[in-house]
């Protein structure tokens, strides 16, 4: 049994829904996602820690030091959607249990769209157990959960009085957990007074839904510090376009998440992004490993400096399966501040580091042990 602490992100006081701008790779502001990756969350926490204490003489924050030096006191997942107290977990990079032909036909293209599983289904896939019941398919096929888990959800997700099972399934399939829309904006040039139209993407969670954060604390004494930073982050906001009202939230601790993942057997599944150390590269090469890579870049905003591009890194995405025991998987934190050379100087800053402080991206893993079984080809 694997247990994880949970934190529920909910609308801030006075608001009915939770809205964010979680930008995705692209040339505009329209593309957004429904989740926030673990490396972005860690960077946001470091920013809040920098408001509370100055860096030490070597330029490293006291909060960040154990993470940078490879002794992290806790591990964090990415922020995933949730329904009530039920977190939705990333689809593992494993073959799904076989369903009968009628079930396959009813689910249809939901197999290709699937991105999140309920905890019971996530554990079943990781352990190689068959599905006891046909899953409920929501959010256009992106979300699967068991009927038993859905029945325990709060309104409006649970079955209504005298509602048939078929009608309930249909209603859940048509009720969005989150919605993504483009919000029109206009900017006015200060010199010419000319206006320019643009759109900004926004993800909004339905009432009763929100985001979930999973954490494993190896040192419980740091939990109060983490929760203090989470308080600050709730006020300052997550993601982009915070000046437009996006990103504010409240949080509450949720029930511990217990997962029956089967007998550990030398493999691990990720709930976070992962940047392997040199000695961990075999976790990606070994038999049974399955993963996707994601390119991570973006912008640096530093006081007194122009906006700059961060160095690009490639990370392993959530849901990856590693050919290494979970307790051996750690990952690393890297400094991605821009570095300019005499051959390629910055037009304003010249050569050298683009900022006086580190710019961290965390590839530290939140890994869970799963059985060592070979996937059929």
Could you please report the per-residue DSSP string of 258-299? EE---S--SEEEESS-B---GGGTHHHHSTT-B--EEEE--E
Which pLDDT does position 377 carry in this prediction? 38
Which pLDDT does position 376 carry in this prediction? 42
The two structure tokens encoding residue 49: 């820690």
**Roughly what angle, to the nearest 10 degrees, separates helices 38-52 and 223-236?**
90
pLDDT along the chain (377 residues), means of 10: 88 88 62 87 93 82 92 96 95 82 68 89 90 86 92 88 89 91 74 71 89 96 95 89 78 93 89 96 92 90 82 95 94 92 86 87 95 60
- Please state the pTM of the whole predicted model: 0.90
Other beta carbons within 10 angstroms of residue 92's beta carbon come to: 23
Which pLDDT does position 199 carry in this prediction? 65
CA 350 vs. chain centroid, Å, equals 36
Which pLDDT does position 31 carry in this prediction? 64
The two structure tokens encoding residue 112: 């290709």
Which pLDDT does position 298 carry in this prediction? 84
Dihedral angle of Cα 43, 28, 176, 76, to the nearest 10 degrees: -10
Which pLDDT does position 154 carry in this prediction? 87
């Amino acid at each position: 049994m694997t247990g994880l602490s949970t934190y529920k992100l909910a609308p801030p006081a006075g608001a009915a829904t939770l809205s964010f701008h979680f930008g995705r790779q692209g040339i505009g502001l329209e593309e957004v996602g429904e989740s926030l990756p673990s490396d972005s969350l860690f960077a946001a926490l470091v920013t809040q820690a920098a408001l509370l204490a100055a860096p030490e003489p070597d330029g490293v924050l006291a909060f960040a030091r154990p993470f940078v030096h490879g002794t992290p006191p806790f591990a964090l997942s990415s922020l995933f959607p949730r329904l009530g107290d039920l977190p939705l977990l990333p689809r593992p990079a494993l073959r799904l249990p076989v369903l009968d032909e009628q079930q396959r036909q009813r689910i249809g293209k939901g197999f290709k769209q699937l991105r999140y599983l309920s905890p019971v289904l996530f554990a079943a896939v990781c352990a190689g157990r068959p599905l006891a019941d046909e899953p409920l398919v929501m959010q256009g096929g992106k979300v699967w959960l068991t009927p038993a888990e859905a029945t325990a959800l709060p309104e409006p997700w649970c079955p209504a009085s005298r509602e048939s099972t078929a009608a309930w399934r249909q209603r859940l399939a048509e009720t969005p957990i989150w919605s993504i829309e483009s919000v029109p904006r206009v900017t006015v040039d200060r010199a010419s007074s000319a206006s320019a139209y643009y759109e900004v993407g926004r993800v909004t969670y339905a009432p009763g839904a929100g985001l979930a954060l999973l954490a494993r604390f190896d040192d419980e004494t740091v939990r109060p510090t983490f929760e203090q930073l989470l308080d600050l982050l709730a006020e300052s906001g997550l993601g982009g376009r915070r000046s437009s009202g996006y990103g504010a939230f409240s949080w509450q601790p949720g029930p511990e998440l217990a997962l029956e993942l089967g007998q550990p057997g030398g493999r691990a599944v990720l709930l976070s992004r992962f940047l392997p150390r040199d000695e961990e590269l075999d976790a990606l090469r070994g038999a049974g490993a399955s993963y996707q890579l994601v390119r991570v870049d973006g912008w640096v905003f530093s006081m007194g400096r122009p906006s700059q591009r961060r160095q690009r890194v490639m990370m392993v995405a959530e849901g990856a399966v590693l050919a290494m025991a979970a307790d051996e998987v750690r990952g690393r934190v890297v400094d991605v501040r821009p570095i300019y050379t005499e051959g390629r100087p910055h037009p304003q800053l010249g050569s050298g580091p683009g900022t006086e402080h580190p710019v961290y991206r965390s590839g530290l893993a939140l890994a869970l042990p799963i059985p060592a079984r070979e996937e059929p080809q």
